[in-house]
Structure 1
Amino acid sequence: MPSPQDSKESRDLANLILDVLDEHSAQEIIEIDIRGKSSISDYMIVASGRSNRHVGALSDYLIKSLKNTGKKNIGIEGLKSCDWVLIDVGDVIVHLFRPEVRAFYNIEKIWSMPSPLGLNEKIQYDPENTET
């Protein structure tokens, strides 16, 4: 369970990222609170750039801003093609997409789905029920 201090740091980091993306004209910026759904991160931020160049520029601005605040060990994937760039800052994961790629993967929908059953929950199988 994250401490209140960790939660504040995560929230502050997410706010910084949201501000940078907004300042540099990212489109359709959304934030997904994944606390309790994932142990790898607290927040996921998804945004689009108008083109590969815009996605690359957004990535560069964001990485520079994060480094200027002292963030180290920033995981970056996808900068070569800039169709989909993932920036992992630990408590916040950022996905930057070209609009067509974002529509194809639709990760917002994946993360808004109900959580799978917990280990203590059971599914009752009824062989009489033929509905699927």
Structure 2
Amino acid sequence: MGSKEMAEKIVGILEEKKAKDLNTIDIRDISVLADYFIICSGTSTTHIKTLADEVEEKMQEAGVELLHKEGYNSARWILLDYGDVVLHIFHEEDRGFYNLERLWADGVMKHRQ
């Protein structure tokens, strides 16, 4: 699965689980870290864990290996690293503080919700 298809699949999963303020940032032309960052918010720690769990389960079913996971226990900011696609799931209250969209403003952003 290519990085664009992987990003689209993750976004679809997040939309089904009612992720808030869902953005995809294409960083292929500005970074070697990944091709896409996906950033979204959850309304509670339970919602955030549900989003992460669903993405992890569906991507595993699709044969895509999770390379790294951070922040699951606190569930204020969970990062799921799929190599070319990195997902950031924030608690609504914390997202503005880190403001990753501003940090990666040179990328091409696609706002979903």
Name the larger-Rg structure: 1
Match of 1:16 among 9, 23, 26: 9
TM-score w.r.t. the length of structure 1 is 0.78
Equivalent in 82, 86, 92 of residue 75 of structure 2: 82
1:33 paired to 2:23: no
Aligned residues: 107
Calculate the aligned-residue CA RMSD, in Å. 1.3
Compare 105-114 and 20-29 and name the one that shifted more: 105-114
Query: Superposition pairs for residues 45-124 of structure 1, below 5 Å?
Result: 45-113=38-106
- Give the CA deviation at 1:74: 2.7
Give unmatched runs, 5+ long, in structure 1.
1-7, 115-132
Using the TM superposition, give the Cα deviation of residue 73 of structure 1 relative to its aligned residue in structure 2, in angstroms.
Answer: 4.1
Deviant stretches of 4+, over 2 Å: none
Q: Per-residue deviation at 1:112?
A: 0.2
Percent identical: 36
Higher RCO (C-alpha 8 Å, min separation 6): 2
Q: Where does structure 2 lack aligned partners over 5 or more consecutive residues?
A: 108-113
Report how far residue 113 of structure 1 moved. 4.6
TM-score by length of 2: 0.90
Please list the CA deviations of residues 15-67 of structure 1 after superposition, one character each: whole Å capped at 9, or x if unmatched.
00000000000000000010121102000000000011100110000000110
